[in-house]
Amino acid sequence: MYDTRIDIAAATRRNIVDLLQQSLADAVDLFTQIKQAHWNVKGPSFIALHELFDDVAEIVEEHGDLLAERITALGGRADGTARTVAAQSRVAEYPLDIAAGGLHLAAVAERLAAFGKSARTAIDSATDLGDADTADLFTEVSRAIDKQLWFVEAHVQAGD
């Protein structure tokens, strides 16, 4: 941990950084998985889904960046290399053998939902650690991911 004048005890900051680092690993992995869908989707809705997945990936990446910046603001080191993320991520492995739009929609929706759920759990953990700012950050992440999940699920909810 690096020195900082933030008035949170070093031991507490370490716990918060660990919480943030786990979410950062999940966010980076989720970003790459959504890009997998973006690059490989096929079918009659190709262009709409290709663009949707790119937009969703961008939002996930932006929120991963916010998590990383909070880690460093608290005196931690944000670790987001491919190897670190692969070792730490809790996101389910993405199925590489799919191409159909509906299958990609289901896979992306499942992962967004899990990431949103973990963000809500992290809100409580950050609150328990006494860090309202980090809890607020996780609230922002949760809200944004839920919105992206809505966009993805809207493509399959009408039963078309």
In-domain check, residue 3: no
We report the CATH number of the domain holding residue 91 as 1.20.1260.10
Number of independent structural domains in the chain: 1
At 130-158, the pLDDT tens digits run 999 999 999 999 999 999 999 999 988 86
In-domain check, residue 18: yes
Write down the mean pLDDT value for the chain.
Answer: 96
Q: What is the pLDDT of residue 159?
A: 61
At 72-106, the pLDDT tens digits run 999 999 999 999 999 999 999 999 999 999 999 99
Sequence-distant contacts of 11-15: CB under 8 A, at least 24 apart: 12/129, 12/130, 12/131, 13/74, 13/75, 13/76, 14/76, 15/129
Q: What is the pLDDT of residue 157?
A: 81
Tell whether the model's pLDDT for residue 10 goes beyond 60.
yes
In-domain check, residue 46: yes
Query: Which residue has better confidence, 144 or 2?
Result: 144
In-domain check, residue 4: no
In-domain check, residue 86: yes
In-domain check, residue 59: yes
Residue 1 banded pLDDT, cuts 50, 70, 90: confident
Would you say 58 and 34 are in contact if contact means Cβ atoms under 8 Å apart?
Answer: no
Q: Which two tokens stand for residue 95?
A: 């199925």
At 63-79, the pLDDT tens digits run 999 999 999 999 999 99
In-domain check, residue 5: no
Domain limits for position 32: 10-157
Name the H helices within the chain: 10-40, 46-73, 82-88, 101-128, 132-157
Q: What is the pLDDT of residue 62?
A: 98
∠ CA 58-133-130, nearest 5°, is 135
In-domain check, residue 112: yes
Residue 155 to residues 30, 95, 108, 110, Cα–Cα distance (Å): 19, 20, 12, 14
